[in-house]
Amino acid sequence: MSSVKIFSATGTEYLAKKIAHSYGKSLGNVETQRFSDGELSVHFNESVRGCDVFLIQSTCPPTDNIMELLLMVDAAKRASAATISVIIPYFGYARQDRKDKPRVGIGAKLIANVLTAAGASRVITCELHADQIQGFFDIPVVHLQSSPIFVPYIQSLNLENLVFASPDVGGSKRARTYAKYFKADIVICDKYRERANEIASMQVIGDVEGKDVILIDDLVDTAGTLTNAAAIIMEKGAKSVRAICTHPVLSGPAYDRVNNSVLTELIVTDTLPLAEESDKIRVLSVADLFAKGIRKIQDHESISSLFI
């Protein structure tokens, strides 16, 4: 049996430590050197020959993290690792999954290509922006869902008039999955954008009067869509509005928007580090979920039990 070794790149070390601890291992010793011109160099300070190596890195800022991850994959391959599994808790380039206008790149496919070319054996990620991105890879993709983390928390709230909402039409499938599990209704916020991160108009489709509404989305970036949706839902007579977003990108004016919003709370995971703390933001950890995924992969077991 090959031994398991878990390593972290610099961007997600806080989470990698928790994943390794949950799995029952210590993080492996890897060193990233940055030259004065910004060039990166990666060196494993222990042998990985014949090992099943797991490399952890989200695509959080700065963009150098992708290059660092690729260098780690290449170093592990050249050091004769048996398998190289890349754990990307937040796969940010998943938003670039199609040509939505002329002469643009498809970033998700590009990252899939370079990870495969570098020597990755498998990709493990969580809550992709679009499920079909798994098809961009020619290697196995373990696509974990965050519902096993959020469902127990929702149950603990004991909300009487629960309704789930999608902040846009594209996320209706995600919200409907929660609604089906809780046997609750669903509403949709239909939005129109004139340009990225800017909403021209929004309206709510469905009844929210007197309801405890939970908005469901895969990520929150500038929080414009989320906070606007929450405000409109409250104007329609909702009792309360919460939001569940797996990946807390929270860029630009996001923190001010969340803090000044009508949201009761924003529930996120630790796939990305928070830039600042907020009384309205609650963080749940994905560490146990990824650790269980690693164990099932190593034991050649189905991962179906990790889904709700």
Active site residues: 191
β-pairing, 162-166 with 141-144? unpaired
Give whole-number Cα distances, 201 to 4, 173, 198, 204, in Å: 50, 22, 9, 11
Tell me if 63 sits within 8 A of 69, measured CB to CB: no
Q: What 3-state DSSP class applies to 218? A: strand
Tell me if 124 sits within 8 A of 86, measured CB to CB: yes
Q: Which residues pair with 204 in a beta bridge?
A: 189
Token pair recorded at residue 183: 């046997």
Cα separation, 297 vs 299, whole angstroms: 5
Q: What 3-state DSSP class applies to 39? A: coil
Token pair recorded at residue 54: 């797991």
193 secondary structure, DSSP code? E
Cα separation, 220 vs 266, whole angstroms: 10
Burial class (CB in 10 A: 0-12, 13-18, 19+), 242: buried
- Closest among 242, 219, 216, 239 to 230, alpha carbons compared: 242
Give whole-number Cα distances, 85 to 124, 180, 244, in Å: 7, 33, 28
